[in-house]
Structure 1
Amino acid sequence: MEDQYLLFDKYLNDELSEEELTSFNEKVSSDIEFEKEFLLYKETHNFLKNTIEKEDELASFKKNLNKASNSYFSKPHSTKKGVIFTFAKYAAVLFTIIFAIYMYQTSMEDPSYDSFVTYRSIDITVRNSENELATKAENSFNHKDFKSASKYLYELIQLDENNTEFKLYYGFSLIELNEFQKADNILSSISERNSAYKNTAIWYLSLSKLKQKDYQSCKNILSKIDKNSPEFDLAKPLISKLK
């Protein structure tokens, strides 16, 4: 678990290589438990970032965590017993304190968009293997270049107006660019039709409302997510905060 926390931290600080970033996004897309753990860590990370006033304390915390982790993973098996105990005890106490503070501080705070948004990698070139435009859209989206992604996705929609997948990720890109009216119109249209993208569109639409701090609309939209869908598992922590 410790190395997973370090992986989350590297992702949030843009320290992953292109290959590592692709692998991370694929795991988030395919592993619900991994995604939920990442969301929880991300929310805690954002809390610390916004509430710890002394930057040197946060830097010291990360330095000590990395140092302890490096010691743990670099020791030969025969000498790990004491290191395992020390690191496990250190990590357990540390994260217990962090989550205790987080739960106390955030119990009265409104949820934030940054704490709940996730970036699922998209794969639209499988069905468009000879389409250079689709490749550009996919690469831009997966590397969080949403300005370029929105441009390419818009062009793809002009070529294929019935492609719901293009519209879905175009809508999400627009949320990232704060073009809420256009995003909400597109996602609302998808969410009102029965398709494989219905619940994903509802989830993205709720995130749009969350980013706009329209909490009542966000809550109302979340209630429409199918309880048997993967998106409902993502939505449950947010639903609990909006009660």
Structure 2
Amino acid sequence: YLNDELSEEELASFETELTNNPDLAAELELYKDIDSAAQENDIMGLRARLDSISKDVVKEKRKERSFAAMPASRVAIATIAASLMLILSIAGIISRSHKAANETELYSQYYEAYQATGIFRSGDATLDTKLTKALHKFNDQDYESALNLFSEVLEQDSNNPVGNFYSGVAFQETGKFNQAIESYKTVVKNKDNLFVEQAEWYIGLCYLQTENRKKAYKQFKKIAGSDSFYQEKASAVLRKIKYFE
């Protein structure tokens, strides 16, 4: 779990158990100070030593075919190894919570609220009226009302770039990051509009907020390798994501 080596099914099962086990959650709260005291080198060294001990125990178990038949010294080693594994696992889980905090800080550093500017015309008077009202609500930061109006626009024109982009921003402003990502992806998919680069950038930031570091890294790497307006910022974010590892 700590090395991100589980399949999606195994990961979901583990995290469900963690969520539904209040005793385990309470136990983890007692060890929050472990992460601040444990340095990365100490953890890596401990992990290497633990791997070595575990391999020895496995070999011995194969020879004896029974844990009960193991020499007392091996039993002691196995017990110590199990205890160290528990501490290491707890430290790793707490470390993940600190990484999430780092990603939130990174998001706050680079996210800037987007203001609706200009007049957008679609050629449909009714649609344009709804769009204008939605943008006014958006600029007033009445995002729920804006989303309702954008939804009406998108019912008439599902690929409308203005409706999709500003819906994404409104979702993002209200903490609905997964929905924001979907709106931005529609903008990017349709390509021929003014919001593609901004949408690409916001998708990366939303991935940070959903703790999906791998997708965030891939997204910012794509931007950094392009001639996007956000190329330099994306490169800076990539360097900081690597620092978190």
Q: TM-score if structure 2 supplies the norm length?
A: 0.48
Report 1 or 2 for greater relative contact order, CA contacts < 8 Å, sequence distance ≥ 6.
Answer: 1
- Rg larger in 1 or in 2? 2
Q: TM-score if structure 1 supplies the norm length?
A: 0.48
